[in-house]
Amino acid sequence: MVRSQKPDLKTIEPYDVSFAEIRSDEKWTETVQKIATAINVQFTEASNQLPFVPFKEFQNLLREEKVFLFGPSGCGKSRTIIELLRSKNASYDRIFVINPSNPARLDSGRENISMLSERFGPNDLVIWDNFPEGLVKRDLENAFGALEIVNARSVQNLYIVLKPTYLELYRGLTMGMPDIYAHEITCDLETMKALIKAYGRDVEQYREIFEKYVSANIDTIARILWQKQPLSLTIVQYYKALVGKTNLTQCDECDKVFHSLDEYVEHDKHFHPRSIDAAVNSSKALLVAQKCSSVYDYFERQFEVMKNIGGRKQDVDFLYSLRFCYEAGFDRTHTSIAFLQNGIFGSTTPQEPTRKMGTWVYLSGQNYSMHDSAKNAVRLTDYSRMKIISYLADHFLEIIPKGNAELHSLGLFLGKNIEFIPNDAGRRIVPDQIYGFMKKNAVFERAFGRGVGENLELLEEALQMLILEHVDTDIEFGVGLADSLGERFMELDDNNRKRVLKKTYHGMLFARYLGQSVGRLYGKMSNELRSVVMSHGERNPQFADGLGMGLGYMYALLEPALQDEIMHKARESFDLSRGLGFGFGLTFALLQEHDAKNMVSVANKNSELDVGFGMGLAVTYSNLPDQLRKFVLDRVATDCEFAFGAGVYGAYFYKEACPKDLFLLLHSNGELAYGLGFGFGATFFYLPEQFRSELELLIKSNVKLDDGLGSGIGFVLKHLPTEVQERFIGKASASNAFATGLGYGLGYTW
């Protein structure tokens, strides 16, 4: 019935991720360029291919089907992926890029990773750059779970690149996955020297500099740069600094301007001798190597300098616009950036930015790109954020992107910057045109709420109160906000915790999702905080339901004494029981057979836990093996409570993409049909128009589905606009089943 081995830290919670799908072109080089653009890799400059020096393990990587690369920023991880593809010249049916840096102009979207992985085929390539970027929750357990879902599929190649921020936290993450070959990219002194030589000889604009200044002292230069930062990006920055010094340059210490590298060296030798190691020859290239900043310090300092030079405003605005495009998911083509820069800052894009700011930007296909170190140095100031947000608010419907991945990024960006959103719309938190769009797009609305939750306690008191008012009326916003606040619950001070917990008595889904996130932290809380949380669970059914969901999800990792305490409380609370069942359902596929049988036995004796059990298994249904899908369908056929729960979340979670195995049973299983109707009703306004029309036809011949639809709508009716409420109340007068359900939903929540 279930897997025979129980791994550690494994979860199958659903994860939403952005992705792009690329079809292989007849010319493999063009396909590789599309991939390079999607993952923000520079491997050409001025139409010349930038050199690549294979490291010692590169040939081993070519033989591996699944690879996990890690190392510091700038070491060449993403470039390695491109070189692996160029070396293979492989024939793939499709290439899936998870968390693309630039999804514009590609077939992109945002989808549950379990459902997305179902599309992977044996002849496909899957790339996840900057893992776990793209996941909403990036703790060790969730990262491991997401990695396992992707790894479970049979594909031709799987390439994963770890984001440097998580280098130490995730070191050893793949140890429990022997089919994934993990490799740390490092740069030894020999490789550093080879890179200096390769760039000097193969890149036309560096050739003369290499022969004149570098080649004679290459060993010493390599050691100096290697000791500063052993990265391939260090070499690029070094050559660009040399090019700058051979042209018009300025002394870093006294601001004197020079017209050649020779003048600069002579000046430095006579007026600033302390800056040169006396034991080292004062050659031009050695001097530049010694004075070279680390990659990260260099960009931060240079951007501050650039901002203070009046004649560089155009360049600064360009970099701000490019950084905004990265954060909000906008197209990074010249046309797009020029349009945004002019609209936001009133300035024009520099002519040939890659020539004037080659240290900062490069072209990847048609898109401007920045290396991470440069991008991270361009921090948006409050003034620039205000300008950007004001422009977005005034022109929102004109420039809004189309893909779900881009909409998710834009929602997060707006939410994180909510204090800059101009708004004269009474008690609303955003202008009418943004609010109107938000109510038609659940992905955007939930992401917006999540972004707001990341900084809620830092906002002005009046804005905080207004935001919390909206969890009562804007459901998806409240869910995103609750998720974000729940994950940070232990970071909040007592006053903010009290304020957030108070709102759980008004927003139904807000209460459940906050409870779920808080429940997952329960094992890490102090006894005093656990007591506070559980006291609210005893008084608030929806919060208790969510709390149980979180506790059930983490149950297997809790201490035995705490497990016993939770089960004791569950026997006294139907809502906590139902939530626990949901959490158990999410992790059921990971239990050993003995534990799984015990779980089923508990569900057989507790009807509310059984409902939740069905809900949790419905959420994971698309990722279950065949034998467990059969278990779910058999139990749906014989267990009313389980069938109802499976129906609710089969519809609520998947919406119009409800698993066919469940949807096809709506005419033969009344409890499942009622549950499906309930789930569709609760999310009715986020369903596509065509699917709504199909439901309207189905309910004419299915009383249970109609009853459930009424119940689901009744649950959320008080959150809907007055004219919509009146429409559904009018519908109730024409259908007894819908009226019964609507009355039940209203009575439960009003």
Averaged pLDDT for residues 308-313: 87
Cβ–Cβ under 8 Å, residues 389 and 421: yes
Averaged pLDDT for residues 606-626: 91
Cβ–Cβ under 8 Å, residues 158 and 180: yes
Averaged pLDDT for residues 651-665: 93
For the chain, give the number of residues: 750
Task: At 351, give phi and psi (nearest 5°).
Answer: -70, 130
pLDDT score, position 9: 34
pLDDT score, position 343: 96
Could you give the count of Cα atoms lying within 13 Å of 505 in the half-sphere of its Cβ?
A: 8
Cβ–Cβ under 8 Å, residues 467 and 461: no
* Residue in the structure block whose two tokens are 């160029």: 86
Higher pLDDT, 626 or 292: 626
Q: What is the C-alpha separation between 339 and 284, in angstroms, rounded? A: 42
pLDDT score, position 411: 95
Token duo for residue 267: 């000046």
What pLDDT digit, counting tens, does each position of 513-552 carry? 899 999 989 988 999 999 999 999 999 998 999 999 999 9
DSSP 129: E
3 state SS of 363: strand
**pLDDT over threshold 70, residue 350:** yes
Q: Of 59, 91, 81, 225, which is closest to residue 161 (Cα–Cα)?
A: 81
CA dist 116 → 252, 428, 658, 680 (Å): 52, 35, 14, 22
Higher pLDDT, 719 or 450: 450
pLDDT score, position 276: 37
Higher pLDDT, 422 or 347: 347
DSSP 333: B
- Count of Cβ atoms closer than 10 Å to residue 493 Cβ: 9
Cβ–Cβ under 8 Å, residues 312 and 353: no
pLDDT score, position 268: 54
**pLDDT over threshold 70, residue 588:** yes
DSSP 352: S
Binned at pLDDT 50, 70 and 90, residue 7 comes out as very low
Averaged pLDDT for residues 598-608: 89
- Helices within 77-129 (DSSP H only): 77-88, 113-117
* Packing angle of the helix pair 382-399, 313-328 (nearest 10 deg): 60
- Please report, to the nearest 10 degrees, the dihedral formed by the alpha carbons of residues 26, 30, 34, 37 taken in order: 170
What pLDDT digit, counting tens, does each position of 190-234 carry? 888 999 999 889 888 888 888 888 888 899 988 888 877 778 888
Q: What is the C-alpha separation between 485 and 496, in angstroms, rounded? A: 10
Omega before 132 cis (within 30°)? yes
pLDDT score, position 248: 44
pLDDT score, position 410: 94
Cβ–Cβ under 8 Å, residues 441 and 400: no
pLDDT score, position 703: 95
Any idea what the Cα angle at residue 115 is, between residues 110 and 117, rounded to 5°?
A: 95
| Residues forming beta bridges with residue 128, ordered by sequence position | 98, 160
Binned at pLDDT 50, 70 and 90, residue 393 comes out as very high
Binned at pLDDT 50, 70 and 90, residue 679 comes out as very high
| Lowest-pLDDT range of 71-85, 359-373, 407-421 | 359-373
Binned at pLDDT 50, 70 and 90, residue 14 comes out as low
* DSSP run (H or E) holding 159: strand 157-162
* Residue in the structure block whose two tokens are 């899957």: 126
pLDDT score, position 382: 94
What pLDDT digit, counting tens, does each position of 239-278 carry? 888 887 655 445 555 555 554 555 555 555 555 544 433 3
* Domains in the chain: ranges and CATH: 16-184 (3.40.50), 189-292 (no CATH), 299-379 (1.10.10)
**pLDDT over threshold 50, residue 313:** yes
3 state SS of 431: coil
**pLDDT over threshold 50, residue 598:** yes
pLDDT score, position 556: 79
3 state SS of 332: coil
Q: Of 586, 657, 648, 563, which is closest to residue 611 (Cα–Cα)?
A: 648
pLDDT score, position 375: 87
Higher pLDDT, 562 or 213: 562
Convert 526-557 to b/e letters by CB count within 10 Å (16 or more is b): eeebbeebbebbeebbbbbbbbbbbbbbbbbe
Averaged pLDDT for residues 469-477: 81
DSSP string for residues in 207-235: HHHIIIIIGGGHHHHHHHHHHH---HHHH
pLDDT score, position 4: 35
Share of the chain above pLDDT 70, in %: 89
What pLDDT digit, counting tens, does each position of 149-202 carry? 898 888 999 999 998 888 777 878 888 888 999 998 888 888 889 999 998 898
Q: What is the C-alpha separation between 207 and 68, in angstroms, rounded? A: 35
In angstroms, how far is CA 238 from the centroid of its own chain? Answer: 33
3 state SS of 118: coil
| Lowest-pLDDT range of 89-98, 443-452, 676-685 | 89-98
DSSP string for residues in 281-317: ---HHHHHHHHPPPHHHHHHHHHHHHHT-GGGHHHHH
In angstroms, how far is CA 344 from the centroid of its own chain? Answer: 26
Binned at pLDDT 50, 70 and 90, residue 236 comes out as confident
Higher pLDDT, 677 or 513: 677
Q: Of 93, 102, 98, which is closest to residue 33 (Cα–Cα)?
A: 102
Mean pLDDT score across all residues of the chain: 85
